[in-house]
Structure 1
Amino acid sequence: MPSTPAASRRPDPAPLTATPDLAAYDAIIVNSSAGKDSQAALDVVAHAADHAQVMHRVIVLHADLGNLEWPGVPQLAAVQAENYGLPLVVRRREQNGLLDLIRDRGRWPSSLARYCTSAMKRQPSRRFMTQHVRQLGLDRPARILNVLGLRAEESHHRAQHPTLGPDPGASNLTRRHVDTWLPIHALTTDQVWQRIHTSGVPHHSAYDHGMRRLSCSICPLAARADIVRACQLRPDLAHTYQQLENTIGTPLRPRMSIRDALAEAAAGAAPGDTIAGGRALPAGTWSW
């Protein structure tokens, strides 16, 4: 396979975790939220796969979160994948969306109950694995490398994750064996941004508006400052959250309700912030 333009434009900075034998896998699936960490992980994988001459086995998978995502995220995921000459597959939860799931459960996701990740990302990803293995048509269990942009710096829990290991929940005896690889596990936030800027591949402008993470625009697991900033940038969505909060009778977090976040957002809003006028940001603001 010839090198893709983006993968060959510069030498590959050595990733800080050991690269597995990519040629030993029938498919390499890079999970992309189009956020900074999955973008950096994609950059590492593209260079490693290009070096191992297995770019044709790499697929970028985006789990679409619907209207909870920042504007333009699926389109940006496609642009990022295209920069490396890689295909993008988009999958979405087949049943109701996350807000419906929260309403049905009567509680918000938390660090101890991350059912949002399972329902919105892990389940669609595993359904795609099933479909892809069927398309491969192998006479043996397929070997799949599942790539995630998790980093040790994010939390104590994520710091305990092995950088490479089997995923029993995604594997089965007869159809597939799945390993999970965390190629940027040891990178700091500054190193992630350095890699992104060096790559020349565009990032989402939500970061330029002060957000430190992408994922759901308003995430119960995010830092307080990110929740408040998201309320300023997406007030309509924040008010939808407030209606749901009233319906289930439970605040977004034990010590922080959306009502509190909206009040804090209004108090700290700059003249150009959307909450001042109650309008969504213009579509052009989210270009890359």
Structure 2
Amino acid sequence: MVSRGQIAFDLPEFDDGPDLASYRWILANISGGKDSAAMLYELVRQADAAGVPRDRIVCVHAALGRAEWEGTRELAAEHAAAYGLRFEVVARTGADLVDRIAERGMFPDASNRWCTSDFKRGPVRRLMTSLVREAQDGGHLGRVRLLNVMGLRADESPARRRLLAFSHDGALTCPCQNCMLRRAALESAERRGVPCPKDKKPGHGASNTVRHVDTWHPVHAWSTDDVWSAVARSGLRPHPAYAAGMPRLSCSFCVLASRPALIRAAQLRPALAAEYAAIEAKTGHRFQNDLSMAEIIAEAERTKVATIPCWEG
């Protein structure tokens, strides 16, 4: 989930991460995967050290329907319960991801990741709205500070390498000083009829007039070995898909996955692979530009996948 409203903080106190005690809500995005399990372990460790009550931490799982690995939702709930944390499930209203692909007649791709915006970012922001109301009903005055925490890592892809470990999720309607300066730069450029530099524009993040949202990736610099070490220390149960050979617990069939990972997924979930192939045949849109699900299924039936490299997401 890439925040398109990232604004860097250069203040010394943020060198080691955010001031956790300054947030009314800390929202931990958990998928049931290894990275989110490591993130949750590190978040709870730092929150406890900072004296943050655990009732301020809310775990959220963005449900994708049958596109995700079986048992993922239940495992995410198990991970939250291990720390005694509140657990919320959010989802897009209407069709699940598989049916939505069929409705749209196209699969997501690297340049148009509508699956992320529609099924993760949008529903999570609705939960933020609900949490703000909850805080206000409890007597909170002024803007509500939320910290959105995710387990994205630099090792996963060039795009994630460019992410800031900690940033403000700025937006056009955010009244903070940095966003106001960006809004002024945009308005000035519009008056002069010239393009506003991308790095000067207000973001399209989650902040607004009632909530201040920052984004934190506490395991951004961690290696895969670091992650598995933290998972071992946490005692949290990994999803069985890892033992079956999958390198990541994304969608069972992620459009950004490597060919070997897709082949292995087709071996593990042949019925879902067949459903995607049927969508391809009906819509004429390939699962990946250079690889169809029909080809993946055919290769899965004749290939034994031994080593699966992690893919770039």
TM-score (norm 1): 0.85
Superposition map of 1:27-106 within 5 A: 27-54=25-52, 55-106=54-105
CA distance in 2 between partners of 1:223 and 1:108 (Å): 16
Tell me if structure 1 keeps the 8 A contact 2:34–2:227. Answer: yes
> How far apart, CA to CA, are the structure 2 residues paired with 1:152 and 1:86?
27
What corresponds to 1:218 in structure 2?
253
Partner SS for 2:241: coil
Unaligned 5+ segments in structure 2 are 1-14, 171-203, 306-313
State the superposition RMSD in angstroms.
1.3
What is the Cα deviation at residue 252 of structure 1? Answer: 0.7
Alpha-carbon displacement from aligned partner over 1:160-181 (angstroms, at most 9, x marks no partner) = 0011111123434421010000
Gaps in structure 1 of 5+ consecutive residues: 1-16, 271-288
Contact 2:62 2:119 in 1 (8 A): yes
Q: Secondary structure at the match of 2:295?
A: helix
Q: Which residue of 1 aligns with 2:274?
A: 239
Return structure 1 stretches of 4+ with deviation > 6 angstroms.
none
Which one of 163, 184, 190 corresponds to residue 161 of structure 1?
163
Q: Hey, what does 1:279 align to over in structure 2?
A: none
Q: Which amino acid aligns with 2:33?
A: G
Q: By how many angstroms is 1:226 displaced?
A: 0.9
Structure 2 CA distance for aligned equivalents of residues 96 and 74 of structure 1: 17
AA partner of residue 176 (structure 1): R
SS in 1 for 2:248: coil
> 1: CA distance between counterparts of 2:59 and 2:290?
37
SS at match of 2:76: helix
Percent identity of paired positions between Structure 1 and Structure 2: 44
The one of the two structures with greater contact order (alpha-carbon pairs below 8 A, sep at least 6) is 2
**Aligned position for 2:127:** 128
Partners of 2:71 and 2:104 in 1: how far apart? 29
AA of the residue aligned to 2:45:
H
Paired residues of 1:126 and 1:170 also in contact (CA < 8 A): no
Structure 2 partner of 1:265: 300
2:178 is the alignment partner of 1:179? no
Task: Quote the Cα distance in structure 2 between the aligned partners of 1:49 and 1:40.
Answer: 14
C-alpha separation between the residues in 2 aligned to 1:141 and 1:48? 24
SS at match of 1:207: helix
> How many correspondences in the alignment?
254
CA offsets 1:13-60 (integer angstroms, 9 cap, x no match): xxxx82211001110000011111111111110101111121221110
TM-score (norm 2): 0.79
CA distance in 1, matches of 2:205, 2:59: 17
2:197 is aligned to none
Residue identity in the other structure for 1:79: E
Looking at structure 2, the residues matched to 149 and 212 of structure 1 have their Cα atoms a distance apart, in angstroms, of: 15
**Pick aligned residue for 1:255 from 279, 283, 290:** 290
* In the alignment, structure 1 residue 205 sits paired with structure 2 residue 203: no
